[in-house]
Structure 1
Amino acid sequence: MRTLLAVSAAVLPGALRRFVHTRLLGYELAPTASIGHSIIDVDHLVMGERARIGHLVAMRGLEQVRLDEGAVVLMLVWVNAVRRSTGYFQGLEGRRPELLMGRHSLISVMHFVDACDLVELRDFAAIAGFGSIVQTHAVDMERMVQDASPVRIGEYSLVATRALLLPGAEVPPRSIVAAGSVVTRKLEGSYVFAGSPARAARPLSSDLPFFTRTHTEIA
């Protein structure tokens, strides 16, 4: 029934769509939060003031999605997960199929996010450009099981076009992952990270305007 309601809401006009999301599905939307013509089939959704999910977004299988104040998912973004109740990840303690987006964080256009474990964008973090993949699960070849690890993107950091973030990847605060790069582990420091696997290419100044901005808009 929840899936049917979520799919139906995607084609309804604004007021009816909000009614289905808040009254029937129980999502918590601030008065200025909005959801476009999108399929949002998750257990628990919380959206702060001016948070926004645009058109043609699909979110399914997550136990929790939270967009803090001003966080935005633009359009043509697919966020997929597998609930713990399915038993698919046998023996994996602490797995959290969640998407958490801090204040004024951003996922732009045509990205794929595998949130079988936690995916977290902290305040002002951005998955920008087009065609990036965030992947939290993979096959453990030794144990012959599906394994999962969180992916985190630090404050004010930017992940550029067609980047790949693999299980356990962590992008440090005030850094940039260059287009086409592959992040396979926890990175450290304020750098442009580039390559496959991504390595520090050049240092960044912490006082760059991009790292000190107080709003999401870029002219």
Structure 2
Amino acid sequence: MIRSRRSRSLVAAVATFLPRPLRRFAHTRLLGYRLHPTATIGHAFIDIDSLEMGEGARIGHLVMIRGCEEVRLGAWAIVQMLVWINSVRAEKGFFRDVERRPALIMGHKSLITMLHFIDACDLVELEDFASLAGFGSLVQTHAVDLQTLRQNCAPVRISESSLVASRSTLLPGAIVPSCSIVAAGSVVNGKLVGHQLFGGVPARALRETDLSWGYFNRPRDGAPGAW
């Protein structure tokens, strides 16, 4: 496995354009990524320290993942096309004296659809069956403290069986609770509570979700269906 940071970046760039068998060889043998035999990566630029993909997990075409120390996709987790996941490694010296984990962790059958931007300078976590859906959403884990003029970080979590709809913004420290929905165009700037439909700027509870809906009761076994 290649250790040099510069060489790894070069291999990651070249692998983007290789046919699938050679791309898989570069990812597994040269970069040391751990891929289940059924996991697939499209024509994507992936320049990170550690990647693990479970059964049926998939990263689509034209995805860029860079700077993360760890990316982990559980079984049947999917990142669709045209997603940009960017981070800054701890060794770079940014965010001094700030404890952080530059990582993306996706649980079983979790989903990130198209055209999203994810700042993973701190942990971004999608629990089992969680979805960053639609398109055009921003997940942000770092911001400037205007009082102290320092960069701060906080992790972001989309909890189990929850959905964040199009053009939403999740700010540092945002937590979407389980079995809830964030309506399109909303801004989540802290911890939300309850099984609710949330919406607005900032997002607030609008009404309870119906836990009998099919979205909240998808089967754990087997490949994902239409969703």
Q: What is the TM-score with the length of structure 2 in the denominator?
A: 0.95
| Residue 188 of structure 2 is aligned to residue 183 of structure 1 | yes
Which residue identity does 2:225 align to in structure 1?
E
**SS in structure 2 of the partner of residue 75 of structure 1:** coil
| Residue aligning to 1:45 | 51
Equivalent of 2:86 in 69, 80, 86? 80
| Residue aligning to 1:5 | 11
| Residue aligning to 1:130 | 135
| Residue aligning to 2:206 | 201
| Residue 159 of structure 2 is aligned to residue 154 of structure 1 | yes
Q: Write out per-residue CA displacement over residues 25-65 of structure 1, whole angstroms, 9 at most, x where no aligned residue.
A: 00000000000000000000000000000000000000000
Q: Write out per-residue CA displacement over residues 71-109 of structure 1, whole angstroms, 9 at most, x where no aligned residue.
A: 00000000000000011111102x000000000000000
In 1, Cα distance between the equivalents of 2:8 and 2:35? 17
CA deviation after TM superposition for structure 1 residue 144, in Å: 1.1
CA deviation after TM superposition for structure 1 residue 205, in Å: 1.6
Which residue identity does 1:35 align to in structure 2?
I
Give me the identity figure in percent. Answer: 59
| Residue aligning to 1:99 | 104
CA deviation after TM superposition for structure 1 residue 209, in Å: 1.1
| Residue 218 of structure 2 is aligned to residue 216 of structure 1 | no
In 2, Cα distance between the equivalents of 1:216 and 1:185? 30
Which residue identity does 1:117 align to in structure 2?
D
Which residue identity does 2:139 align to in structure 1?
V
In 2, Cα distance between the equivalents of 1:211 and 1:174? 6
| Residue 31 of structure 2 is aligned to residue 22 of structure 1 | no
In 2, Cα distance between the equivalents of 1:173 and 1:203? 12
Q: What is the TM-score with the length of structure 1 in the denominator?
A: 0.98
In 2, Cα distance between the equivalents of 1:9 and 1:78? 17
| Residue 19 of structure 2 is aligned to residue 35 of structure 1 | no
CA deviation after TM superposition for structure 1 residue 116, in Å: 0.3
CA deviation after TM superposition for structure 1 residue 217, in Å: 2.7
| Residue aligning to 1:63 | 69
Number of matched pairs: 218
CA deviation after TM superposition for structure 1 residue 179, in Å: 0.2
Question: CA-atom RMSD, angstroms?
Answer: 0.8
In 2, Cα distance between the equivalents of 1:117 and 1:103? 21
| Residue aligning to 2:3 | none
In 2, Cα distance between the equivalents of 1:131 and 1:32? 29
**SS in structure 1 of the partner of residue 205 of structure 2:** strand
| Residue aligning to 2:4 | none
Specify every segment of 5 or more residues in structure 2 that has no aligned partner in the other structure, as ranges. 1-6
Q: Write out per-residue CA displacement over residues 157-179 of structure 1, whole angstroms, 9 at most, x where no aligned residue.
A: 00000000000000000000000
Moved more, 198-207 or 60-69: 198-207
| Residue aligning to 1:166 | 171
| Residue aligning to 1:141 | 146
